[in-house]
A = this chain, B = another copy of it.
Amino acid sequence: MRYERKIPIPIECGLHLTKEVLGGKWKMSLINAIHAGIKRPARIEQAFPTLTKRVLSRQLKELEAHGIISKEIFPQLPPKVEYSLTPLGASLLPIIDMMDNWGNENRSFLEKVIEETRLMVEIGNHAH
Contacts and interface: CB of A to CB of B under 8 A. Distances in A.
Which of A1, A66, A114 has the most CB atoms of chain B within a 10 A radius of its CB?
A114
Nearest to A101: B14
Contacts of A61: 121
Contact of A104 (B14, B65, B103, B117): B14
A113 B67 contact: yes
A17 B98 contact: no
A11 B67 contact: no
B94 A106 contact: no
A5 interface: yes
A107 B20 CA distance: 12
Given A14-B100, A21-B114, A98-B98, 11 more contacts: A2-B118, A3-B123, A17-B104, A17-B111, A19-B25, A20-B114, A62-B117, A66-B117, A67-B109, A67-B113, A94-B98
Given A15-B28, A15-B103, A21 B110 contact: yes
A54 to B, nearest CB: 12
A56 interface: no
Interface string A21-46: 11101001100100000000000000
B65 A113 contact: yes
